[in-house]
Amino acid sequence: MNLKSRFLLLASALIVASSLASWVVFERIAERIIERWGANIAEIQVRYDSARLLQNIEREVGLAQQMSDSDVIQRWARQPGNATLKAAAIEEMERFRHNFADHNYFLALKDSGAYFYNNAANGFAGKQLRYHLDPNKPADAWFYQLIEQRRDFHLNVNPDEALGVTKLWIDVLLKVDGRIVGVAGTGMDLEPFLQNIVDLEQPGINTLFVDYNGAIQLYRDRRYIDYASFVKPEGQKKTIELLLDRPADRSWIRQTLDRLREGPEQGYRVETGFVTVDGKSHLAGVTYLPSIGWYEITLLDLDVLLPLATFAPMLGVFSVALLLTLLVFNIAIRRQIIDPIISLEAAMERVRLGDLSPRKPSPRSDEMGRLEQHFDVMASSIREHTRQLEETVRERTDALNRLARKDHLTELLNRRGMNELLAEEFQRFRREHRTFGIVWLDIDNFKDINDTLGHAVGDGVLRQIAASLRTCIRPYDHAARWGGDEFLVLLAPCDGDHLQGIGERIRRTVESAVETPAITVSIGGALAVPDDTIENILQRADDALYQAKDNGRNQFYIAEGGQLTRIS
């Protein structure tokens, strides 16, 4: 995999990883914000609902207490058999009836079980003594339980069987000189109460009130309300735990209720925590209402109140910003690093393949630019080095070529060099009909010199003859040592006169120039003729040379028109 693909893969992996990480972090942050916000909302909601409830109830509780503390009623309670006091007490209760919210009251006496009641319609005027309570009747159990529990006041949600409605009863103990003599209070219709306090159309917010036992007293789902709660044995009450799915939540709510009640002096302290209701997580806000001995619990469904989707635009902006950053980063890395590396690699490949042509100089001055400059300097020194090497090789080759065509002893051309020149000249002769001539000479009795004077002297003679030849030929003629003691001269251009003149000059020059020892040469000459071949010309010159030798040496013959003519 190349660098670009690997980087793309790495960038993609980074995008995926950072998106996942961002999502997780975002969820955590959002959840924390929602939690904190939810806790505040729960607290506000709890205070608000509590205030609304207490507003309605506290007044009734106060009135009920005033009624039971009333002197008139107290006097009668001391002497329940006194008809005058009784009439005054009923009159007093009737006054209170007008003040109670639902315009009804009740008063029950412990000793006699006498139960007095009148309603909003004043339906029992003159016959307020309704009936006598019976400790053996389950419907009257509330009264005896209340007295037994000695609770100064109590709120009791209980159906009124006689009226066929459910009421929230406000029960206050009637005490005379510290002795409980009965219970007095009023009843409020539960339905409007529920509608006002817990039935409000607030999506995601569920409010309920539970008593000191945790038994549900006010809740929008009437099936969960624990009617006549306090007369039921433990274990049969419909408590808040019924709503909670998880055992951990049930124990948390119980501990929270206990904790909140331990410090009533702290007033409306609100505790919050997450609980699961009907399979959904809710934020529960709990507070204790010491004035009525109940708790309020507000359940907030945060998914409804502040769905995570609310944060979607934020997540969107964040994701787009992240993607753009990575994209820009990717482009920057490609531009700054990967592309220059690829271009540098291509340049190296070109150098490897022998293309040493200079590159356009890099305009960059950073590390990458310096790397490119270093490479360019290196490529240029390779280029220079190669150029020098090629020049040296060319020079050496030329020298070798020259050496290969040169006779080392005489420094004339050797036979190979002369053959090449002959071939070239013959081509020119064919092409341009420029006639050329050959002069072939052989030292006379050279063997004797070697034998008598030594090989070194023989070599000296060969060099002297070479020197003589150089003086006899024209600048554009060529002389070669043909082999042993034979020399060949190429005369081009040449005609019969030149051939004769130069051949004769050579013979005489050698004869006069090389005196110690006295040396002569025999010479054969020939001119190229139409339809000639190199072999034929050489053969004719050789024939002429042979004739010169044969005729006594130190002579010059020319082969011409099939004849051998002695020149000198």
Nearer to ligand GTP, 434 or 566 (CB): 566
Find the shortest distance in angstroms from Cβ 445 to ligand GTP: 4
One character per residue 392-431, x = contact with ligand GTP (rule: CB under 6 A): -----------------x----------------------
Tell me if 465 contacts ligand GTP by CB under 6 A.
no
- Sheet hosting strand 216-218, strand order edge to edge: 216-218, 205-210, 294-300, 280-289, 270-277
Identify whether 517 is preceded by a cis peptide bond (ω within 30 of 0): yes
Distance CA 232, CA 242 (A): 16
**Range in contact with ligand GTP (rule: CB under 6 A) among 4-12, 281-289, 455-463, 488-496:** 455-463
Contact criterion met (CB below 8 Å) for 555 and 522:
yes
Compute how many residues bind ligand GTP; rule: CB under 6 A. 17
Q: Is 462 in the site for ligand GTP (CB under 6 A)?
A: yes
Ranked by CB distance to ligand GTP, the top (closest) residue is 458
Exactly one of 385, 484, 539, 568 binds ligand GTP (CB under 6 A); that residue is 484
CA atoms of 13 and 2, how far apart (whole Å): 16
Amino acid identity of 75?
R
Region near ligand GTP per CB under 6 A, out of 176-184, 345-353, 386-394, 451-459: 451-459
- Per CB under 6 A, 445 contacts ligand GTP: yes
For 70-206, where are the alpha helices, taking DSSP H only?
71-78, 83-99, 141-149, 190-197
Tell me: does residue 249 bind ligand GTP (CB under 6 A). Answer: no
10 Å CB burial of residue 555 (0-12, 13-18, 19+) is buried
Handedness of CA 463, 474, 403, 386 (dihedral sign): positive
Residue 316 makes contact with ligand GTP by CB under 6 A: no
**Nearer of residues 38 and 458 to ligand GTP, judged by Cβ:** 458
| Shorter beta-carbon distance to ligand GTP: residue 449 or 489 | 449
Name, in order, each residue with C-beta under 8 angstroms of 276's C-beta and a sequence gap of 6 or more. Answer: 244, 245, 246, 249, 282
Using the minimum distance from each CB to ligand GTP, give the nearer residue, 150 or 408: 408
Q: How far is the CB of 461 from ligand GTP (least distance, A)?
A: 7
User: Do residues 414 and 406 make contact, with C-beta atoms less than 8 angstroms apart?
Assistant: yes
Stretch that binds ligand GTP, among 359-367, 383-391, 441-449, 537-545 (CB under 6 A): 441-449
Work out whether 301 is an interface residue with ligand GTP (CB under 6 A): no
Q: How far apart are CA 222 and CA 238, in angstroms?
A: 11
- Of the pair 41, 461, the CB lying nearest ligand GTP is at 461
Closest CA to 148 of 184, 173, 114, 169: 173
**Interface contacts to ligand GTP, rule CB under 6 A:** 409, 442-448, 450, 455, 458-459, 462, 484-485, 549, 553
